[in-house]
């Protein structure tokens, strides 16, 4: 059995005196510390494992989860963070009390417990990022010895994308009041996200193109959409919208549409634009998505004939309106 002593060397990692460096600070090892390290070593652990375990057990602070949260929130206030910003962190971190024992030292909470607690509370990506910020701060303060990686919210397959039939599209256009038709055209024909279509002050039409400004685009990148011929009529109908959710529900009921999945207008438009352009790259530029995502979600949802009929419905309505 190898006996540990202050002269250890192992593959270039070692120390010649009972001192170690942690967080840029020199740490003196007491006789008791050396005894603990020796015990770990005697159980067959490598020098790296000995150091990792000793650091995890003895170098971390004894601050409880609850106290760590309180100190972190005080830190945010002292840093002049906005009241809303502090409240958002407090709402997320206070909920940990429902899913873990916050009286325990935070250094004793294993990574899987953090993951399990976040899953149990149904935390989204924003809440997970906030917990990650909190834990990084705890690491900087020495409350925990090692970084805790917080993964994003898991994504699960949700089946095929649902879209509107051409019959539904035609009924929707015929039932739509003129002051709402511009919004419907942006979302259902061009495929803008609802949030993008609402920011009409950052949308403009020039020479047969719709320009989606960076302040409107979800990706914060300006993009230019090639408009179908004669669609300037729809562009002239773009208006700021008020009570949009209520109006869309009324329009859906009046159109006789019973199934209205989330983001159905954008999904419908994306399917037809992918068919029309015959290129995932070109469709991605139009819609502000990645080519891989478009190909995975929208390929083969509609036929070429159905896409021709879809754009023909919009063209026919323009002729009728004139």
Helix H or strand E encompassing 204: strand 203-206
- 314 and 172 assigned to the same domain: yes
- Predicted confidence band at 160 (pLDDT cuts at 50, 70, 90)? confident
β-bridge pairing 13-14 and 9-10: antiparallel
In a shared domain, residues 87 and 43: no
pLDDT at 303: 93
The answer to whether position 25 is within a domain reads yes
Query: What gap in Å lies between CA 197 and CA 240, rounded to an integer?
Result: 9
Lowest mean pLDDT among 188-192, 255-259, 287-291: 287-291
The predicted model gives 88-111 an average pLDDT of 90
Q: Is residue 227 part of a domain?
A: yes
Please give the Cα distance from 21 to 272 (Å, whole number): 61
Same domain, 192 and 293: yes
Residue 156 lies in a domain: no
Of 140-149, 151-160, 268-277, which gets the smallest average pLDDT?
Answer: 151-160
Please check whether residue 181 is in contact with residue 234, taking contact to mean a CB–CB distance below 8 angstroms: yes
> Is residue 149 a part of any domain in this protein?
no
Interacting residues of 170 by C-beta distance below 8 A, sequence separation 6+? 313
Determine the Cα–Cα distance for residues 289 and 130; give it in Å rounded to an integer: 26
Q: Are residues 220 and 75 in the same domain?
A: no
CB atoms within 10 A of CB 317: 18
Q: Note whether 40 and 53 are within 8 A (CB).
A: yes
Question: Band of the pLDDT at 124, cuts 50, 70, 90?
Answer: confident
Q: Is pLDDT larger for residue 26 or for residue 106?
A: 106
Whether the Cβ atoms of residue 166 and residue 271 lie closer than 8 Å to each other: no
Contacts of 10 (CB under 8 A, 6+ apart): 46, 47, 48
Check if the beta carbon of residue 118 is closer than 8 Å to that of residue 131: yes
314 with 170, same domain?
yes
Residue 291 in any domain: the answer is yes
> Which residues have a Cβ under 8 Å from the Cβ of 224 and sit 6 or more positions away?
209, 210, 211, 212
Kindly state whether residue 305 falls inside one of the protein's structural domains.
yes
Average pLDDT over residues 153-157: 54
By residue range, what is the domain housing residue 273? 166-321
Neighbouring-strand partners of residue 10: 13
Residue 44 is predicted with a pLDDT of: 67
Give residue-wise pLDDT tens across range 249-287.
999 999 999 999 989 999 999 999 999 999 989 999 999
Residue 150 is assigned to a structural domain of this protein: no
Give the per-residue pLDDT at 51. Answer: 60
Instruction: Answer with the residue of higher pLDDT: 319 or 14.
Output: 319
When the pLDDT of each residue in the chain is averaged and rounded to a whole number, the result is 83
Cβ burial 32-56 (10 Å sphere, 16+ → b, else e):
ebeebbeebbeeebebeebbeebee
Tell me: do 177 and 119 sit in the same domain: no
Spatial separation of the C-alpha atoms in residues 145 and 22, rounded to whole Å = 9
Q: Per the structure, how many domains does the chain have?
A: 3
212 domain residue, yes or no: yes
> What's the confidence (pLDDT) of residue 30?
67
Task: Say yes or no: 49 and 71 in one domain.
Answer: no
CB atoms within 10 A of CB 76: 19
């Amino acid at each position: 059995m190898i006996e540990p002593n202050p002269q250890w060397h192992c593959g270039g990692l070692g120390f010649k005196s009972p001192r170690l460096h942690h967080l840029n600070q020199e740490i003196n090892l007491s006789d008791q510390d050396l005894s603990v390290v020796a015990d770990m070593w005697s159980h067959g652990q490598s020098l790296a494992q000995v150091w990792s375990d000793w650091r995890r057990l003895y170098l971390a602070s004894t601050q409880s989860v609850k106290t760590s949260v309180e100190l972190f929130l005080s830190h945010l206030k002292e840093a002049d963070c906005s009241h809303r910003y502090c409240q958002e962190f407090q709402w997320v971190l206070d909920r940990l009390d429902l899913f873990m024992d916050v009286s325990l030292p935070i250094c004793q909470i294993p990574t899987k417990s953090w993951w399990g607690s976040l899953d149990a509370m149904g935390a989204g990506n924003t809440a997970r990022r906030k917990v990650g910020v909190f834990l990084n701060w705890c690491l900087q303060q020495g409350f925990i010895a090692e970084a805790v990686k917080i993964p994003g919210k898991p994504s699960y397959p949700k089946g095929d994308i649902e879209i509107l039939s051409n019959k539904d599209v035609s009924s929707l256009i015929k039932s739509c009041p003129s002051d709402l038709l511009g919004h419907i055209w942006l979302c259902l024909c061009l495929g803008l996200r609802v949030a993008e279509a609402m920011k009409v002050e950052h949308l403009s039409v020039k020479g047969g193109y719709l320009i989606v400004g960076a302040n409107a685009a979800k990706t914060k990148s300006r993009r230019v959409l090639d408009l179908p011929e004669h669609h300037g009529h729809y562009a002239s109908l773009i208006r700021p919208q008020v009570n949009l959710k209520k109006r869309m529900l009324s329009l859906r009921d009046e159109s006789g549409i019973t199934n209205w999945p989330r983001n159905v207008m954008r999904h419908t438009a994306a399917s037809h634009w992918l068919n029309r352009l015959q290129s995932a790259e070109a469709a991605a530029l139009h819609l502000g998505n990645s080519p891989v995502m478009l190909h995975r979600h929208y390929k083969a949802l509609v036929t070429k004939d159905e896409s021709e009929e879809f754009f023909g419905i919009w063209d026919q309505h323009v002729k009728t309106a004139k």
